[in-house]
Amino acid sequence: MKKSLTTTAAALLAGLVWPSLAPVPAAGQETVPLSLTLQEALGIALRNNPRVQAVRNDVTVADWNLNSAYGALLPSASLNSSVSWQGAGEQRFGSITADQLGFGDQPSFLFSSYNAGVNFSLSGRSLMAPGQARRNRDATRAQVRTAEASLRLNVTKAYLEVLRQIEGLSLAEQELARAELNLRLARGRLEVGSGSAIDVQQAEVGVGRAEITLLQSGTGVRNARVRLQQNLGVDLNAEPTLATRFAVTEPTWTVDALYGTAIVQNPDLQAMRAGEESARYGVRMAWSSYLPNVSMSAGFSGFTQRASSTAGQERAAINAGLAAIAQCEFLNDLVSRLPDPPPLQNCSLLATPESALEAIREGNKAFPFNFTTQPPSASLSVSIPIFQGLGRQREVESARALLHDNRYQVREQELALRADIESRLAILRTAYETALIEERNQDLADVQLRLAQERYREGLSNFIDLVEAETVKARADRERLFSIFTYHDAIADLEAVVGTPLRNP
């Protein structure tokens, strides 16, 4: 910064370009080096840009979709357990109550049960699902590469824009220095009586305009750094120096060579081809609906129950014993009336023993884990689809149409790729020739300005001639700067189309 810049302008410019309070990086955030090359900037952006990170998350989902497709080929197992309670009272079975059936005064019950089963099903679609998921994952990864390529282009252009604005700031400083020199020349001529006050006022206006241009250039630098920071995805903890410099060299690439590289490297074309491969496999998936389905299952279960009271069961057992005794005594009475009766039965042996009552009490203690196992079961079924209303064929034709659409899109992208390469290579060559011409114009304008300054200093020309020479010089400098970065932007655009770097900055 020139010392002759006004205090207000200097303070404002310092606040725009070199903030005194640099932003503090967030916890765990990557630190940007103070000397930042383009390759380092690309690496930081690929690791931290939130948009690319969001796209990469889709790859994790695609990986789990593939795992899930493989998991569907394995048997599924389940284990269920339940506990229930039924209150005391009289139950009703249709139009008959438990009391009418001889089961009155029912207690409350606690029930527990379990059910374990294994199921396995296999179909053509489930067999081909892993292949489809794998191709979908490849398509997702191709989309990630497309997002990364777009980020590389954005970061490269943002990096170039910062350099452009910095060079523009340097030109603004040079313009201010020349305007101040013109002001000193005008004042010197006024002091010796060979100039006029109008020349001095015009020179002061020129200084003011140069100061405005310098302030605007400072704002441009600051905004360009903010855009670069946005693309990097991190806060710039300082104002890093951009260390990469780009040379203007004659482009020697050919359309055929670039096209051959782009066919393999272009991320958009790769993504479309991955989509085509996924669509091709989708046709096979649609045909798989004509294959039979096989299902197998096996399971076993158990249950327990516990009554709040076994009095009813014990009473029923005792009553059953009493009924057996009564029946026995009745038969003994009949047999005793025969002419030659056989020995009579000992009916007391038919009375319900205490051990039976104890068994009832012990059986009521099975809840909750002493299960009574039920018989196991297994099944096998085969389903052969024969006619389903032409729905399967509709899916096949839809899958074929999608495959054809993807093929046409790939072909369209290949044609567009060649056209883009030819167009961007022509733009690059034009930018190169333009940069050479602007370099020559800049040299001529520099010579013209020095001559105008000498002539004005010697009193051989007026101030208007000096201002015109200064204007030509400023325009030549900016046109030269514009042509240089137009050339570099053209290379960045061509690299984005080809899908690989074409220069070693």
DSSP assignments along 204-257, one per residue:
HHHHHHHHHHHHHHHHHHHHHHHHHHHHHTS--SS--EE------------HHH
- Please, which pLDDT band fits residue 267 given cuts at 50, 70 and 90? very high
Helix H or strand E segment including 382: strand 377-383
Is 110 within a domain? no
Region 148-166: mean pLDDT is 94
Please check whether residue 136 is in contact with residue 479, taking contact to mean a CB–CB distance below 8 angstroms. no
End-to-end Cα separation, the chain, in angstroms: 28
Q: Do 231 and 338 share a domain, yes or no?
A: no
Q: Do 286 and 167 share a domain, yes or no?
A: yes
Q: Is the pLDDT of residue 166 over 90?
A: yes
Q: Do 478 and 406 share a domain, yes or no?
A: yes
Please check whether residue 432 is in contact with residue 483, taking contact to mean a CB–CB distance below 8 angstroms. no
Q: Is the pLDDT of residue 443 over 60?
A: yes
| pLDDT computed for residue 504 by the predictor | 67
Query: Angle 267-287/124-191 helices, nearest 10 degrees?
Result: 160
Cα–Cα dist 23/5, whole Å = 28
Please work out, in degrees rounded to the nearest 5, the angle formed at the alpha carbon of residue 493 by the alpha carbons of 262 and 58: 70
Region 137-161: mean pLDDT is 93
Q: Of the given ranges (224-238, 335-349, 395-409), which has the lowest mean pLDDT? A: 335-349
Three-class DSSP category at 372: strand
Q: Do 177 and 256 share a domain, yes or no?
A: yes
Three-class DSSP category at 500: coil
Region 138-152: mean pLDDT is 93
Question: What pTM value is reported for the model?
Answer: 0.74
Is 383 within a domain? no
- Please, which pLDDT band fits residue 390 given cuts at 50, 70 and 90? confident
Task: Please provide the average confidence, as pLDDT, over all residues in the chain.
Answer: 84
**What is the radius of gyration, based on Cα positions, of the chain?**
47
Helix H or strand E segment including 117: strand 109-122
Three-class DSSP category at 18: coil
- Please, which pLDDT band fits residue 128 given cuts at 50, 70 and 90? confident
Count Cα neighbours of 359 within 13 Å in the Cβ-side half-sphere. Answer: 6
Is 256 within a domain? yes
Region 1-20: mean pLDDT is 38
Q: Is the pLDDT of residue 408 over 90?
A: yes
| pLDDT computed for residue 187 by the predictor | 87
Higher model confidence: residue 391 or residue 175? 175
Q: Where are the strands (E) in 271-321, listed by range?
A: 293-307
Q: Is the pLDDT of residue 26 over 90?
A: no
Q: What is the CATH number of the domain that holds 493?
A: 1.20.1600.10
Q: Do 160 and 288 share a domain, yes or no?
A: yes
Q: Do 410 and 448 share a domain, yes or no?
A: yes
Region 406-422: mean pLDDT is 93
Is 108 within a domain? no
| pLDDT computed for residue 61 by the predictor | 93
Three-class DSSP category at 116: strand
Beta-carbon neighbour count of residue 328 at 10 Å? 18
* pLDDT, tens digit, 9 for 90 and up, residues 174-187: 999 988 988 888 88
- 59: closest CA among 158, 150, 136? 136
Q: Which residue, of 320, 348, 363, is where some domain finishes? A: 363
Q: Do 270 and 318 share a domain, yes or no?
A: no
Select, from the ranges 90-104, 121-135, 205-219, the one with the highest average predicted confidence (pLDDT): 205-219
Q: Do 440 and 469 share a domain, yes or no?
A: yes
Cis peptide before 343 (omega within 30 of 0): no
Helix H or strand E segment including 85: strand 76-86
Q: Is the pLDDT of residue 270 over 80?
A: yes
Is 414 within a domain? yes
| pLDDT computed for residue 19 by the predictor | 41
Please check whether residue 265 is in contact with residue 498, taking contact to mean a CB–CB distance below 8 angstroms. yes
Please check whether residue 327 is in contact with residue 132, taking contact to mean a CB–CB distance below 8 angstroms. no
Place of tokens 């051990």: 355
Please tell me the total count of domains within the chain. 2
The DSSP result for 19-52, as a single string, is -SSPPPPPTTPPPPPSEE-HHHHHHHHHHH-HHH
Is 255 within a domain? yes
Beta-carbon neighbour count of residue 238 at 10 Å? 15
Q: Is the pLDDT of residue 334 over 90?
A: no
By residue range, what is the domain housing residue 434?
A: 7-16+31-71+132-293+391-498
Burial class from Cβ neighbours inside 10 Å (0-12, 13-18, 19+) for residue 59 reads middle
Q: Do 201 and 235 share a domain, yes or no?
A: yes
Please check whether residue 304 is in contact with residue 112, taking contact to mean a CB–CB distance below 8 angstroms. yes
Q: Which region holds residue 89: left if phi is over 0, alpha if psi is between -120 and 50, else beta?
A: left
| pLDDT computed for residue 328 by the predictor | 87
Select, from the ranges 96-105, 222-231, 311-320, the one with the highest average predicted confidence (pLDDT): 222-231
Is 1 within a domain? no
Place of tokens 């479309």: 272
- Please, which pLDDT band fits residue 231 given cuts at 50, 70 and 90? very high
Q: Do 416 and 459 share a domain, yes or no?
A: yes
Two tokens, residue 91: 């139950």
Three-class DSSP category at 200: helix
Q: Which residues contact 254 (CB under 8 A, 6 or more apart)?
A: none
Q: Is the pLDDT of residue 6 over 70?
A: no
Q: Do 153 and 274 share a domain, yes or no?
A: yes
Please check whether residue 455 is in contact with residue 461, taking contact to mean a CB–CB distance below 8 angstroms. yes
* pLDDT, tens digit, 9 for 90 and up, residues 75-125: 889 999 888 887 776 666 666 766 655 555 677 778 888 899 999 888 888
Is 92 within a domain? no
What percent of the chain shows pLDDT beyond 90? 42
Q: Do 175 and 280 share a domain, yes or no?
A: yes
Cα–Cα dist 420/432, whole Å = 18
